[in-house]
């Protein structure tokens, strides 16, 4: 007979997660779950306390999981499951060293994030937030030939930096708008680029030839600060820059300069450093900069599926079985 008390696995969940995930977690009889039961991030001290003796940790991208957290957890920690596809918040070397497995949520958020990226690109290029504001503040006096003009996709060249799952999904959605050339850069050419007639080019070529530049790479030491002064100086003055990857890929001071001097036409960001971006940040004073609060994957169904997948990953990690989506360390 199983001695229930001995078998209980301690799990710490760093946030209130959608119902689908909660249901799966509650049904897992082998788990003793403690949760930071809030919609706000867990304070660091509570995280360090909460993980103590945990066998499993379910976290979000806003939780920095570093050596301090792993030490606080102690040697029982087997599995870290993050409800995100990005894993730049996880100290992977430290995690690997300790033999801890990692689960994440690729694919299930690809469509939602690609869709949001297209929405942000169109909103930025066609100046939707400015237009909405003018309607409300009385700036709309009449139809004027050059008022609120922007840039269209038809006949354009689009450059995607990081043609991964999301990058490809973005490209597929943009092509039907009449895009003429689809360029992409990254560490290697991709066979699936053929689906969008993608041309693998050096990043400098992508910068000088693209009318729209979309950043959808992962944040790594190599891509940190990739979009800096030198990067923006190679772009066309009429080009639109979109980032839905991670804020730290962009040097925001350099982006501010590029936008305010007319070096580039406009920028749309779903991700910033820090998050939230302080309301007095210089970027928010610019009309040609559209900033969204990191809502790439924010559809009800996507977040539900993400929560369920992250719980499944967690439970498999606890049981030592194959996970639906394990990150190779
Ligand atoms: P993938 O791993 O499929 O794609 C990442 C891409 O980044 C790969 O194609 C990779 O290309 C590329 N890349 C890596 N290093 C470099 C480099 N040095 N230069 C250029 N490209 C590089 O991940 P996903 O498409 O699923 O997700 C991508 C990122 O999007 C996530 O890491 C996350 O940060 C972000 N994201 C943001 C969301 C939001 O809400 N805004 C939602 C979901 C994800 P290669 O294989 O050639 O190295």
Decide whether any atom of ligand 1 lies within 6 Å of the 217 Cβ: yes
Mutate which of 89, 104, 218 for ligand 1? The one with the most ligand atoms within 8 Å of its CB, which is 218
CA Rg, the chain, in Å? 22
Q: What is the pLDDT of residues 275-310, one digit of tens each?
A: 999 999 999 999 999 999 999 999 999 999 999 999
Strand 31-35 to 79-82 pairing: unpaired
3-state secondary structure of 127: coil
- From the CB of 225, is ligand 1 less than 6 Å away? no
Q: Does any ligand 1 atom lie closer than 6 A to the CB of residue 219?
A: yes
Of 152, 158, 226, 156, the C-alpha closest to 198 is: 158
Strands of the sheet containing 31-35, edge to edge, are 31-35, 9-13, 56-59, 79-82, 101-103
106 CA: nearest ligand 1 atom: 26
**With a cut of 70, which residues of the chain have pLDDT below it?**
1-6
Residues pairing with 238 in the sheet: none
| Separation of CA 8 and ligand 1 centre (Å) | 37
Distance in angstroms (rounded) separating the CA atoms of residues 246 and 270: 8
In order, the DSSP letters of 145-210 are TTTT----STT-EEEEES-SHHHHHHHHHHGGGT-SEEEEESSS--GGGGGGTEEE--HHHHHHH-
Q: What is the pLDDT of residue 71?
A: 98
Q: How far is CA 245 from CA 49, 143, 167, 296, in A?
A: 31, 37, 10, 9
Ligand 1 center to residue 167 CA distance, Å?
7
Ligand 1 pocket, mutate which of 216, 243, 275, 297 (most atoms under 8 A from CB): 216
pLDDT for the residue 154: 98
The set of residues, in sequence order, having a beta carbon less than 8 Å from that of 133 and lying 6+ positions away, is 139
The predicted pLDDT at position 3 comes to: 53
Q: Tens digit of pLDDT for each residue in 191-239?
A: 999 999 999 999 999 999 999 999 999 999 999 999 999 999 999 999 9
Q: Please give the positions annotated as active site.
A: 294
How many Cβ atoms are within 10 Å of 27's Cβ, its own excluded?
A: 10
């Amino acid at each position: 007979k199983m001695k229930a008390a001995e078998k209980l696995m301690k799990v710490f969940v760093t946030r209130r997660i959608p119902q689908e995930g909660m249901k799966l977690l509650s049904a897992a009889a082998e788990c003793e779950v403690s949760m930071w039961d809030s919609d706000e991030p867990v304070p660091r001290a509570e995280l360090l306390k909460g993980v103590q003796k945990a066998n499993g940790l379910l976290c979000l991208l806003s939780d920095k999981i570093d050596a301090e957290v792993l030490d606080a957890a102690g040697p029982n920690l087997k599995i870290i499951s993050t409800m995100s596809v990005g894993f730049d918040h996880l100290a992977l070397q430290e995690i690997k060293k300790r033999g801890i497995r990692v689960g994440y949520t690729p694919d299930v958020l690809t469509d939602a994030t690609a869709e949001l990226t297209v929405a942000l690109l169109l909103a930025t290029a066609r100046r939707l937030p400015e237009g909405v504001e003018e309607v409300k503040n009385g700036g709309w006096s009449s139809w004027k030939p050059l008022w609120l003009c922007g840039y269209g996709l038809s006949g354009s060249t689009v450059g995607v930096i990081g043609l991964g799952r999301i990058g490809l999904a973005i490209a597929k959605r943009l092509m039907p708008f009449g895009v003429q050339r689809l360029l992409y850069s990254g560490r290697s050419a991709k066979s699936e680029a053929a689906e969008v007639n993608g041309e693998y080019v050096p990043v400098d070529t992508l910068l000088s030839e693209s009318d729209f530049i979309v950043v959808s790479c992962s944040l790594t030491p190599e891509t940190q600060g990739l979009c800096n002064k030198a990067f923006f100086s190679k772009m066309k003055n009429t080009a639109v820059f979109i980032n839905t990857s991670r804020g730290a890929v962009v040097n925001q001071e350099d982006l501010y300069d590029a936008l305010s001097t007319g070096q580039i036409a406009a920028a749309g960001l779903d991700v910033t450093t820090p998050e939230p971006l302080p309301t007095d940040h210089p970027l928010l004073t610019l009309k040609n900069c559209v900033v969204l609060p990191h809502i790439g994957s924010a559809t009800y169904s996507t977040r539900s599926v993400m929560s369920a997948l992250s719980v499944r990953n967690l439970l498999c990690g606890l049981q030592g079985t194959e996970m639906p989506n394990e990150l190779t360390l």
